[in-house]
Amino acid sequence: MAGSPTAGAAPRIGVLALQGDFREHIASLTALGAEVVPLRRPEEIASLHGVVIPGGESSVMDKLSRAFGVAEPLSAAIREGLPTYGTCAGMIMLSDRITNAIGGQQTLGILDTTVRRNAFGSQNDSFETDIPMPDLGDAPVHAVFIRAPVVEEHGDGVHVLGALSDGQVVAVQQGNVIASAFHPEVAGEDRFHRRFLDLVRNA
């Protein structure tokens, strides 16, 4: 892990680019002034100031991250303090526990959360909604849910950033890790990426 960037320097962010919508995250972070690189090999982790795990298919991402040898060193770096943001499948990858997982599916085991995979149904059940999130400002967050998970349980150390009107938790933070069940990068919502970059600069 590279630590925090030097004053005035652009933070170097790796976006896990094995599968999923990593290109959208690269574009969002680049627009905010970060130096962004695709992360595909374990040796690339040491040069990063932060990492993003994108949406996609969590079971495929899990298999590929282990096949490429990225999962174990990435988990270790996050545990050591590497600022991390995960969306949708990224939230599942970061969670310690999954319900509705496929056989043999593993995670990085970081967040003290239990998430339900595909909590809202299939691709046809995708939806958008506005969610109040006072930690991110007065205006609600426009959230796009695509085969999204939901946080069913969380430990005392997990701070809830956002929940649906029925109380289902869809955005959390635990120390150096932020996770959302939805896709800010699809909606053009940059406040999660800004919060993540603040974590990077303050690391």
pLDDT on residue 187: 86
Q: What is the pLDDT of residues 145-155, one digit of tens each?
A: 999 999 999 99
pLDDT (0 to 100) of residue 64: 96
Bridge partners of 142, per DSSP, are 130
Mapping DSSP to helix (H, G, I), strand (E, B) and coil, where does residue 120 land? coil
CATH superfamily, domain 12-202, is: Class I glutamine amidotransferase (GATase) domain (3.40.50.880)
- Which tokens is 124 given? 């046809």
For 156, the token pair is 């005392």
Q: Strand pairing partners for 145? A: 127
Is the predicted pLDDT of residue 124 greater than 70, yes or no? no
Q: What is the reported pLDDT for 111? A: 98
What share of the chain in percent tops pLDDT 90? 85
- Is the pLDDT score of 118 beyond 80? yes
Per-residue model confidence (pLDDT) at position 95: 98
State pTM to two decimals.
Answer: 0.94
- Kindly list the catalytic residues: 88, 183, 185
Asked whether the predicted pLDDT for residue 123 surpasses 80, the reply is no
pLDDT in tens, 15-42: 999 998 999 999 999 999 999 999 999 9
Please give the residue that has the higher pLDDT: either 187 or 195: 195
Please state the rounded mean pLDDT for residues 184-200.
Answer: 95
Output the CA–CA distances (angstroms, integers) from residue 160 to 50, 112, 153, 164, in the order listed.
21, 12, 11, 11
Q: In 3D, which of 152, 23, 166, 146 has the Cα closest to residue 89?
A: 146
